[in-house]
Structure 1
Amino acid sequence: MQIVQGFKPDVDAFKAQGYEVVTEADGQFDLAIVAVPRAKAEARALIADAALRADQVIVDGQKTDGIDSIWKDIKKRVETQVVSKAHGKAIRFSGGASGGDFSDWANPGPLHLIEGFTTRLGVFSVDRIDKASEALAEALPAKLPPRIADLGAGWGYLSRAILAREGVKELHLVEAEAAAIASAKDNITDDRAQFHWEDATKFKPPHLLDAVIMNPPFHTTRAADPALGQAFIAAAAGMLTPQGQLWLVANRQLPYEATLASLFGTVDEIAVTGGFKLLHAAKPLRRAATKP
């Protein structure tokens, strides 16, 4: 069995159980199971790849992730068998030579939907610059400390803005999605950049840093999960020098201030714009038990 997964925390969890895990499928199979992601283009690309590689394909998904429309599109191409339960469907069809033609759904590879940047299917904000990251990039001071991490760096928009500031000598881009870190490598060619395909909440830099700058994710499902952003903040505090600084952007309703106050000596709201708040914290009160 081969598991295809690009999200590093899940990759690590599967590998710890002894499974073979790859970011792209490799080989031919008797059966492929596709767990439908939220993005329709990404879901289609996974189905197209499965149809080429496997004799039988099962597509599993929830109504909230668009499984009904996907089923309608699949049955126009190939005969299907469907099991419906609760708010989900499992769709089975024949792949390989006896299956339908899904070539127009194939993964197009690197995308050039945003001027000056490369993205890929499966990344956050695949076709536009994220407004929160844009607000934080505009709010950063003209001069930044020398050693910095961008946690949850995505495809590199914020990192490029950081590297354009005076004073930066070293930037660690930390990102859990393989497609995003691959895109960041296309977008950032500066020798000061170092790329880490890792869970930002567990990342250990080679030495303590002067600053962390981030637009932390706040979704593990469709519902907002403030604990994820809070874990990013705690991780940032653990990788900073005693005089280190943190800049972050968040949706206005997310309750990060108490976490920041418990981990940093000073916390300030530096701006509120377009539904986002921009926060600056400095002088971490305690570092992670395991130092980098």
Structure 2
Amino acid sequence: MGSALRNAKQPQLNPNWAQLCKKLKSHGTKPYSKATEKSESETPKNVLGKRKERSNAESDDSMPNPLVPTSSDCSVTDAIAMDCEMVGVSPLGNKSALGRVTVVNKWGNVIYDEYVRPVDRVVDFRTAISGIRPRDLRKAKEFRIVQKKVAELIRGRILVGHALRNDLRALLLSHSKKDLRDTSEYQPFLNREGRSKALRHLAAEFLGVKIQNGEHCPVEDARAAMLLYQKYKKEWEKSIKDFIRLKEKQKKRKQKKKPKEGEAVNLNHAKTVS
């Protein structure tokens, strides 16, 4: 009686459907459905996509750009870095004139960044390198105003940069040699022949960053120079102090070799008598 009731409750399957299920089971596959197709086609892609996104995120976090300031402090610090971009003046455009000057503090934050209107007519904007365009100089500040401001900023401070002699020449300014930190002259940054390397090569070699790919950015260049200085500040400052001590010793030796005033008079008197 019980088995009869159980048989009555079980639905009668279509013989064809039962045969298909048996065949699929023997092949180890599941019956086809749109839900199955969707899950099989989308799941691997989603997993791979998440892995790829996670990998990129991790690589970005593990390799931050060292030129991005880690502080928001925009104060004028005891050490500042400067970079200038030039435009071409004179009939042939082969004479350089100041077109833009940027100054950053020791954290790399910009404390001064101005386009400059040269006194002479600009013949070549040198946009491919300088990044300066005619529109940038239409409302640019006069040279003497920028010159005065930069002179105030660098006075009594350590000035960092690359080939600073060119920047100071363009500004018609001078700076105490003991307060200059030029990455083009620091001995560990020179090549085997003792010649200076380009700033982009120093940035790639010592900082692991690429700069000056096309138009130059004075903000980026000034930050790179400052970062190079900060990274090797201890050794750099020690070499400056050692150099100053050496110069002082040499100066004292020269002074000792000079005859005293009384001795010089006696010597001349002796020559006259003889």
**TM > 0.5 between the two?**
no
Higher RCO, 1 vs 2 (CA within 8 Å, ≥6 residues apart): 2
- When the two structures are superposed, what TM-score results if normalisation uses the length of structure 1? 0.21
Structure (1 or 2) with the greater strand fraction: 1
- When the two structures are superposed, what TM-score results if normalisation uses the length of structure 2? 0.22
Structure (1 or 2) with the greater helix fraction: 2
Bigger Cα Rg = 2
